[in-house]
A = this chain, B = another copy of it.
Amino acid sequence: MSRSPAHERGPVRLRDVAELAGVATGTVSNTINHPERVHPRTRVVVEDAIRTLGFVPNQQARVLTGAASSVIGLVVLDVESPFYMETAHALERAVRESGNVVMLCNSEGDLEREEALLTMLAAQRVRGALLAPATPDAHADRYLNLPGNLPIVLLDFDGGDEHCSVTVDNVSGGALAINHLLGLGHTRIAFLGGSPNLRQFRQRAKGARGALQAAGLDPREHLTEVSVSGIGIRDGQQAAELLLESGVPDAIFCGNDMLAFGAYRALTSAGLSVPDDVAIVGYDDIEFAKDWVVPLTSIRQPIASLGQHAAQLLLEHSAGDDAHEHRHVVLEPELIVRSSSDRRRATTA
């Protein structure tokens, strides 16, 4: 009468194990959750039964009886963007270390889709959600009335008093880039990414202007801001081509690394050398940056740290701790100098 697990219909239940072991269901439950409460003799019998039947407890039923869910939702804008994927990976790592798992969802920058996903996650009664808002400029209000009051932590987005958040200081990152370029003697600088509708880019531009002012230079004179329509290589290339029509700057600071790769293509196509004619600085320091044809100087976001903080905030937040204080963690980016801005730098690292 032994039924091979692989050929059964429907999953094995606790009760099946109990029957085979000749004990009550509660005893099986106990050997799984409180082994010390059950006599070693019985325990062995039950464990054998579990093994021969290939029993895997139904997590949904467990959660229904009050156990905390071990699933954490992660909603990102764009699963294909290298930066978001690296971030997702870091988050996954941090979440895993806490014994939970990530359910990765892609909002594709669509507000409705984001809402649908949050509802879905609430319906799944996940433990909480990490959310990289889909809107360039969503009001924090947007997340005030979450479906099923799902605990969330906002990524790279300041949620005001109502939510926890982990952000990286974009203003400071912009300043970092500009100060580096000024230090190299460049004063005719372009910022590629002056797209009006992306908050991160706007903040980086603000940091850039601030750094120029702090150095006693008028941004209107020394910083040309160029809009981009998207955030990919092509967009960067087009924008840089446009920029070159009105003169060659000393340096181009790009809103992200993909744009920087595009700028590189435009410059070399125009017969210009990087960094001799024009220096380039990117942003994000994605994996590709260090291995680009000319290794790219970039502003590195502290992804691993971001993941850890976000995971920890969410776990605290969802711990059921009644009076939860919403916290905001702000992390600092870091300048990584490579040969796209400074020929003296080694190719590696």
Give the B-binding residues of A (Cβ under 8 A): 5-6, 8-9, 11-12, 54-61, 63-64, 71, 79-80, 82, 85-86, 88-89, 92, 101-106, 117, 119-120, 122-125, 144-149, 232-234, 237, 261-262, 264-265, 268, 287-288, 291, 293, 322
Contact = CB atoms under 8 A, between A and B. Distances in A.
Given A101-B120, A148-B12, A322-B9, A60 B268 contact: no
Contacts of A293: 264-265, 268, 293
B146 A6 contact: yes
A147 B54 contact: yes
A149 B123 CA distance: 25
* Best-buried of A55, A63, A123 by chain B (most CB within 10 Å): A123
19 contacts: A6-B145, A6-B149, A11-B125, A54-B147, A56-B119, A56-B123, A57-B123, A58-B123, A59-B123, A71-B103, A101-B117, A101-B120, A102-B104, A103-B103, A103-B104, A237-B291, A268-B293, A288-B288, A293-B293
A125 B82 contact: no
A147 B268 CA distance: 55
Contacts of A264: 293
Contact of A88 (B79, B262, B291, B322): B79
A191 B146 CA distance: 54
Contacts of A144: 6
Contact of A124 (B12, B59, B80, B261): B59
Contact of A79 (B85, B120, B265, B268): B85
Per CB-CB distance, the 4 closest pairs between chain A and chain B, nearest first, are A104-B104, A60-B60, A233-B291, A56-B148
A8 B147 CA distance: 12
Given A148-B11, A234-B291, A122 B92 contact: no
A243 B127 CA distance: 52
A56 B122 contact: yes
Given A64-B64, A233-B288, A264-B293, 9 more contacts: A54-B149, A56-B147, A58-B123, A58-B125, A60-B125, A80-B85, A80-B86, A101-B105, A262-B291
